[in-house]
Amino acid sequence: MRVPLAIVGNGGAAAEAVVALRAHAYAGDIHLFADNQDAPYNPMLGTYLISGAIPLERAFPFGDGHRFYEDHGVTTHLGQAVTALDAAEQRLTTGDGSAYSYDYCLVATGARPAVPPVLGLREALAAPGGAQERRVFTLRSFSDAAGLKETLACLRSRPGEPARVAVVGASFVGIKVASLVHDLGMRVCLIEREPHILPLSAHPDCARPMEDHLLEQGYELRLGAALAGVEMGPFGVRLDFGALPGAADPSGAKGTACEESTTQEDVDLVVVCAGIRTSLDLLAAGQVDTAEGILVDERMRSSIPTLYAAGDVAQGKNLLSGRHEIIGSWASARYQGRAAGRSLAGAPAGYPGGVPHNITHVGRLLFASVGCIKDYDRMTICRDGNSLQVRVWQGERLAGVNLLDCCLNAGTMKQALLRAATGAVTNTGATWISFNG
Ligand SMILES: Cc1cc2nc3c(=O)[nH]c(=O)nc-3n(C[C@H](O)[C@H](O)[C@H](O)COP(=O)(O)OP(=O)(O)OC[C@H]3O[C@@H](n4cnc5c(N)ncnc54)[C@H](O)[C@@H]3O)c2cc1C
């Protein structure tokens, strides 16, 4: 079968592309392929959905039935993962063996949770079973959130001591999951390979007070901890810690909550939050320019003119670094999807790029990160009562900011960095003052 436009994926990027296509008078057929049966889902609301902070329908920002697809004249192939995409031949194949030729294709397959190379972890994640039996999860899709919610409810209804949950990876997602579990009254053990929480986005000087705060709140922290194996059993899940070079204690115990140094721990549940991997496996090797994701220009075109990409799978421009990078955020996915839709509809389009930024509660503290705090020549720290600002500079350019408990400034900081990086303002000192004034 030949289709004029194939969209692979049904997240925020795909949905925005559909909206933009129809808004710009694209009248052709749109065939959308998804490996699930859902309406476009917002993964960043997973923890709120599980805690009950939002109702089910809020997690589906484009509507929670299939009305969205019908209203926009989309022919859906739901539950049909695209398993192979030959961009040179303009052909895709789905899991049931059906083949489709296309004129244009938008890849909006997003990303999936990374699974670190831990003995027994993949098997434990794939193990069948209901809410009582499943004890190892990742959190990305709606079905992940629904499954985790059910298992947490089972553990909460169990008599006796509160359940103990290990969160593997103190990433933004890991911190959100740890907070969810803690607020549900369970014990949390946050395990991180690096010596500090939020290793990709928090400067150690900002991470330390957050770690102290989490310990005060009763979280267990295992930092610099090398998780080597997981084993399912009647005890729940047994975690084996190996040795990291230079680590005094392989279990990474920190603080008063876990002073004994052991190399095995039993927990009731494990949630793996160790980063993401872009969903690129469908692409035939060597055809399209890729790095971590599909490299795209401002119109979301890949190196093959008939293939577009948007969202977490696409590597657009980071306006601060000037490099093509994955900016895994809901807003970025939507902007890119919109640009792809306009572009495919033949309307003027261009998404020049984005800025990495994120904000989350860490216990009761509010933490925001804008830009990159990894490579810098100089840093400044500003403390005001309980609030903290870390700013890092590359030469004269402000490259990244951490804000702790003063996050109302996050939006203005982002604008300041952007203006400085894109040359709209050359004196960063003035930018900083004017944006804070
Ligand atoms: C717990 C959590 C918290 C987050 N918090 C934040 C936050 O605070 N702020 C923020 O900005 N962002 C946050 N994010 C990230 C944000 O949700 C993503 O960046 C965004 O949703 C990416 O959208 P997307 O459309 O590119 O990809 P996705 O939402 O991943 O959608 C891709 C879709 O394609 C489907 N698919 C994949 N492969 C195939 C295939 N081969 N065939 C068919 N279908 C396929 C997938 O199942 C999925 O439904 C969070 C994410 C998570 C998981």
Decide if pLDDT at 434 tops 60.
no
Question: What was the pLDDT predicted at 131?
Answer: 81
Question: What was the pLDDT predicted at 153?
Answer: 96
Per-residue pLDDT reduced to its tens digit, 290-310? 999 999 999 999 999 999 999
pLDDT, greater one: 261 or 64? 64
pLDDT, greater one: 415 or 27? 27
Question: What was the pLDDT predicted at 425?
Answer: 47
- At 293, list the tokens: 């994701």
Per-residue pLDDT reduced to its tens digit, 162-192? 999 999 999 999 999 999 999 999 999 999 9
If you average pLDDT over residues 411-431, what whole number do you get?
57
Decide if pLDDT at 4 tops 50.
yes
Q: Which atom of ligand 1 is nearest to the CA of 313?
A: 26
Decide if pLDDT at 91 tops 70.
yes
If you average pLDDT over residues 13-42, what whole number do you get?
97
Task: Quickly state the pLDDT bin for 435 (edges 50, 70, 90).
Answer: very low
Q: Is the Cβ atom of 18 under 6 angstroms away from ligand 1?
A: no
Region of poorest pLDDT, from 12-16, 215-219, 298-302, 356-360: 356-360
If you average pLDDT over residues 409-431, what whole number do you get?
58
Query: Measured in angstroms, how far is the CA atom of residue 206 from the centroid of ligand 1?
Result: 28
Q: Which atom of ligand 1 is nearest to the CA of 281?
A: 41
Residue at token pair 């009582």: 132
Task: Quickly state the pLDDT bin for 240 (edges 50, 70, 90).
Answer: very high
Kindly report the pTM of this predicted structure.
Answer: 0.92
Contacts 24+ apart (CB under 8 A), 133-136: 135/232, 135/236, 135/237, 135/268, 135/269, 135/270, 136/230, 136/232, 136/237, 136/269, 136/270, 136/271, 136/272
Query: Measured in angstroms, how far is the CA atom of residue 193 from the centroid of ligand 1?
Result: 24
Looking at domain 121-272, its CATH architecture is: 3-Layer(bba) Sandwich (3.50)
From-to residues of CATH 3.50.50.60 in the chain: 2-113+276-344, 121-272
Mean of all residue pLDDT scores within the chain: 90
Question: What was the pLDDT predicted at 144?
Answer: 97
Question: What was the pLDDT predicted at 409?
Answer: 64
Q: Is the Cβ atom of 302 under 6 angstroms away from ligand 1?
A: no
Question: What was the pLDDT predicted at 242?
Answer: 85
Residue nearest to atom 38 of ligand 1 (CA): 109
Q: Are 271 and 177 in contact (CB under 8 A)?
A: yes
Question: What was the pLDDT predicted at 234?
Answer: 84
> By percentage, how much of the chain surpasses pLDDT 90?
76
Per-residue pLDDT reduced to its tens digit, 246-287? 555 555 655 433 434 458 999 999 999 999 999 999 999 999
Query: Measured in angstroms, how far is the CA atom of residue 173 from the centroid of ligand 1?
Result: 12
Residues β-bridged to residue 231:
238
CATH of 2-113+276-344 among 3.20.20.70, 3.50.50.60, 3.40.1160.10, 3.30.470.10: 3.50.50.60
If you average pLDDT over residues 409-428, what whole number do you get?
61
Question: DSSP letter string over 161-212?
Answer: SPPEEEEE--SHHHHHHHHHHHHTT-EEEEEESSSSSSTTTS-HHHHHHHHH
